[in-house]
Every structure is written in structure tokens, then in C-alpha cells.
């Protein structure tokens, strides 16, 4: 499974939450997460939904502040991303 | 399919569903498990009238830090021994004391729903967003509103909502390793 890089960690409204920023191909998105979700600055996003060149469509564990579940991110933002789609 | 109490306990034993701290035996019903209210509440500041200031949330402005905006108009309190009195027609944000983890590679999702005993008093615990998707982990945020005729006293640790677990038909894309099996980045 892949891990997505997150940055700008800030305290959330509740002590169990953290607010992070993720870098998508369309710009940064804010995301509220459970603190336990973040390990070494990465979150688990499962397997890719689609791959186009070096861009990966991934599903986040929660909606972003603008209401998105799935976002396109560059491969550089991912750990353990697959190299290519099997034909 | 909705999971029964037996299926929920089996999923917890297998680690497919995590509820921490674990619910007590009497928190279960045949098809749900009760969760309790965390002492921390987020309260909206009262708007000041007559200042000519118009504050509006615009959720579609992605560049605005929505959570930061929410922080600027709220404060966090801890429920005291006497409880917290929620007045009529007021919205506050609460959380479950329990941490929930629905593993991404399992076939479980859940819905957070109110309890009829509290609904009868006019208390709702979510606003049109009950779904806990496969892969969620964290404490569940509750949008608590008193729609009733009288103020309602909320107490830390009270059973505030119930979770109903559902088994999905198949594995979602993000949990399915088929077409990308065994391939790693260099």
C-alpha cells in the first residue's frame, strides 16, 4: 500500500486531530486527520485508483476542506507507489 | 449487510475493526454499538451585533484554511462535573471518546446515528453526514444540535451516538491490489 506525504502539521480542533496540507497536481489541499493516521509525515492511502504518467489518483482517508475524497498527486509525493499498470 | 453484535465482536477480535477503548458489553445492541462523548467540546463564539461586521463561511474557497477559519470563531471547553448545558437551537462540535479504525483493505464501512432516547429530547448528533467510509481512522466528530423545547445537559462519557457497521459488496479500489500487484517504485 502507498503512503502520501503530508506537511504543515497543525493542531486540530480536538486533541485527537491534526490539520495537514497535501500537495496535489492542482495545488495544496487542507485535510483534517486523526493524529494516529500520520506516521513519519506520511498517511496510508491504499492502492492507486488510476495512474496517468507520473500522476496517481489516490483516495484520502477523509474529505479535504474543499470536499474532495480523490486527488491526483505526483509520484514524488508517494512512498511505495507501483511503477506501472499491469496490462 | 448490517453487522450483528456477534459479527462486530468477531471483526474487532480479528483486528479488521478497531474501537479504542473497547466498548463495554452493555454498549452493544443486536445491530449497533454505542459510543461515548469526549469531554472536549468546540463551542461557537456568539456573534457580536451592531458592529457592521459580516462573517461568512465560503467552503469552496480552497485556499482558505477551513479548519483555521473554524478555530477563529470557536473555542474549546472541557465538560465539567456539572455537565454542559446545550441551549435550544445551538450547534456545537463534539467527539466520540473512542478511536475508530476501519482498515482500508477490509470490507467495512459504518454509519454514526443518534440514539432514540436523546432524539426524543430533540438532540441530534450529526448533520446529514453520517457515513464513516472504509479506511477511516480517528475519533468521530459529531455535529450536535439541540432542536428540542428545553436546554439539554450533556455529560462527559454519556452514550451519545451509535455506530452501525455495514459490509461492503466487494473491495473498494483503494483496497484492491489487483492490477498493481507486486510492483513497487524504484
**Cα separation values, B152 from B34, B87, B146, Å:** 19, 7, 7
The full set of domain ranges for chain A reads 2-79
- Choice among B25, B67, B113, B143 that is catalytic: B143
* Cell numbers describing residue B162: 451509535
**CA contacts within 13 A on the Cβ side of B56:** 5
For residue B166, name the pLDDT band (cuts at 50, 70, 90).
very high
Residue A86 has a pLDDT of: 46
Contact yes or no for B20/A28 (Cβ under 8 A): no
Q: Are the beta carbons of B185 and A65 separated by less than 8 Å? A: no
Residue A67 has a pLDDT of: 83
Q: Is B143 one of the catalytic residues? A: yes
Range among A29-43, B39-53, B60-74, B143-157 with highest mean pLDDT value: B143-157
Residue B64 has a pLDDT of: 54
The pLDDT of residue B109 is above 90: yes
Note the ipTM here. Answer: 0.72
> How many whole angstroms from its chain centre is CA B74?
18
CA nearest neighbour of B173 among B145, B138, B133, B142:
B133
Spatial separation of the C-alpha atoms in residues B130 and B110, rounded to whole Å: 8
The tens digit of pLDDT for each residue in B129-150 reads 899 988 888 999 999 999 999 9
Spatial separation of the C-alpha atoms in residues A27 and A4, rounded to whole Å: 15
Q: What is the largest CA-CA distance in chain B?
A: 64
* Cell numbers describing residue B29: 445492541
Choose among B40, B74, B137: nearest Cβ to A37.
Answer: B137
Q: One digit per residue, pLDDT tens: chain A, 87 residues?
A: 899 999 988 899 899 999 999 999 999 999 999 999 999 999 999 999 999 999 999 999 998 888 889 999 999 999 987 765 544
> How many whole angstroms from its chain centre is CA B28?
17
- Distance between first and last Cα of chain B: 41
Contact yes or no for B37/B160 (Cβ under 8 A): yes
DSSP string, A48-76: -SEEETTEEEEE-SS-BTTS-SEEEEEGG
Q: What is the pTM of this model?
A: 0.83
Name the interface residues of A facing B (CB cutoff 8 Å).
Answer: 1, 10, 12-17, 19, 27, 29-30, 32-37, 44-49, 58-59, 61-62, 64-67, 69, 75, 78-86
Amino acid at each position: 500500500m502507498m503512503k502520501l506525504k503530508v506537511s504543515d502539521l497543525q493542531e486540530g480542533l480536538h486533541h485527537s486531530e491534526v490539520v495537514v496540507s497535501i500537495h496535489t497536481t492542482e495545488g495544496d489541499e487542507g485535510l483534517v486527520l486523526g493524529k494516529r493516521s500520520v506516521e513519519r509525515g506520511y498517511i496510508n492511502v491504499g492502492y492507486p485508483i488510476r495512474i496517468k504518467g507520473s500522476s496517481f489518483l489516490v483516495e484520502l482517508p477523509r474529505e479535504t476542506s474543499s470536499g474532495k475524497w480523490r486527488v491526483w498527486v505526483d509520484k514524488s509525493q508517494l512512498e511505495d507507489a507501483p511503477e506501472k499498470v499491469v496490462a | 449487510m448490517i453487522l450483528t453484535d456477534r459479527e462486530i465482536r468477531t471483526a474487532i477480535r480479528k483486528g479488521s475493526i478497531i474501537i479504542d477503548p473497547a466498548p463495554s458489553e452493555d454498549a452493544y445492541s443486536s445491530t449497533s454499538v454505542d459510543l461515548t462523548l469526549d469531554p472536549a467540546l468546540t463551542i461557537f463564539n456568539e456573534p457580536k451585533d451592531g458592529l457592521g461586521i459580516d462573517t461568512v463561511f465560503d467552503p469552496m474557497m480552497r485556499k482558505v484554511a477551513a479548519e483555521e477559519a473554524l478555530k477563529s470563531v470557536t473555542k474549546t471547553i472541557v465538560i465539567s462535573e456539572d455537565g454542559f448545558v446545550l441551549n435550544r437551537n445551538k450547534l456545537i462540535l463534539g467527539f466520540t471518546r473512542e478511536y475508530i479504525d476501519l482498515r482500508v483493505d477490509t470490507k467495512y464501512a459504518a454509519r454514526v446515528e443518534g440514539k432514540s432516547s436523546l432524539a426524543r429530547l430533540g438532540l441530534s448528533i450529526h448533520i446529514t453526514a453520517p457515513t464513516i467510509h472504509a479506511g477511516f481512522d480517528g475519533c468521530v466528530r459529531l455535529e450536535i444540535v439541540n432542536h428540542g423545547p428545553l436546554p439539554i445537559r450533556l455529560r462527559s462519557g454519556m452514550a451519545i451516538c451509535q455506530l452501525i457497521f455495514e459490509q461492503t459488496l466487494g473491495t473498494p479500489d483503494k483496497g484492491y491490489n489487483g492490477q498493481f500487484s507486486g510492483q513497487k517504485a524504484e
